[in-house]
Structure 1
Amino acid sequence: MPRILIADDEDAMRTLVARAIAMDGHETVTAQDGAEALEILSREDGEFDLLLTDIQMPIMDGIALALSAARDFPRICILLMTGFAHQRERASNLSAIAHDVITKPFSVADIRTAVADALASRRG
């Protein structure tokens, strides 16, 4: 069962994404910002298949989190989420470490498909 770490500062979004992903049998762990997600990654020695993170968050944003995660845990697949065009542009430079950027708002089907694609690319 794939383990997925979800980082998003919006409670409703975190809950929606965790429930959607759990529908496919994935184990989810959530964090309310990048700093908390990085602490969880470190504590669990990077034992996650996927990091799904919002880009715009307080304390540590998703881009800083993605860069740290890719450096410290290179086997983890990274999928970014954003509702802002300028954040998507910032993320375009991360194609070497991030599988994709999913644009908010998205449907449950969209996030499930994006996660399945990211996990499939990791196995490939």
Structure 2
Amino acid sequence: MPHILLAEDDAAVRSFVTSALAHRGHEVTAVEDGLQALEALGESREFDLLITDIVMPGLDGIGLALRVARDSPDLPILLMTGYSAEKQRAHNLDELIARVVVKPFTLKEICEAAEEALLG
């Protein structure tokens, strides 16, 4: 069962995505921001995918993606955003990330994007 790390500051979105992925058989560790995601990654847990919102307090998703790409280059990264300007910022990271999923998205869309990223 793939283990996914989800970093999302909005509790409703975090719950929605966690439930959707768990329903598809994935194990999900959900955290509120990029700093908590780094803590989870540092606790020697093995993750198969990082899904992160771009706009978060503390360490945003772009900063998190850059750190993860440097420290764990084999970990696929999926970004989420509801802001078109942020999507453009993420476009500059094409080589580091699997995809950018634009909010609002459906359960099916986020699950398919995650499963695509897991397959490489």
Shorter-chain TM-score bucket reads over 0.9
CA distance in 2, matches of 1:42, 1:65: 13
Residue 74 of structure 1 corresponds to 73
Structure 1 residue 31: Cα displacement: 0.8
Tell me the SS of whatever aligns to 2:30: strand
Instruction: Specify every segment of 5 or more residues in structure 2 that has no aligned partner in the other structure, as ranges.
Output: none
CA distance in 2, matches of 1:73, 1:118: 15
Instruction: Specify every segment of 5 or more residues in structure 1 that has no aligned partner in the other structure, as ranges.
Output: none
Structure 1 residue 55: Cα displacement: 0.1
CA distance in 2, matches of 1:114, 1:53: 13
- The TM-score normalised by the length of structure 1 is 0.94
Structure 1 residue 74: Cα displacement: 1.1
Structure 1 residue 120: Cα displacement: 1.2
Tell me the SS of whatever aligns to 1:41: helix
Residue 54 of structure 1 corresponds to 53
Alignment of 1:1-124 (within 5 A): 1-44=1-44, 47-121=46-120
Structure 1 residue 116: Cα displacement: 1.0
- The TM-score normalised by the length of structure 2 is 0.97
- Residue type at the aligned position of 1:13: V
CA distance in 2, matches of 1:43, 1:98: 23
CA distance in 1, matches of 2:71, 2:50: 13
Tell me the SS of whatever aligns to 1:94: coil
Runs of 4+ in 1 over 3 A off after TM superposition: none
- Residue type at the aligned position of 2:115: A
CA distance in 2, matches of 1:9, 1:44: 23
Tell me the SS of whatever aligns to 1:13: helix
Identity of aligned residues (%): 48
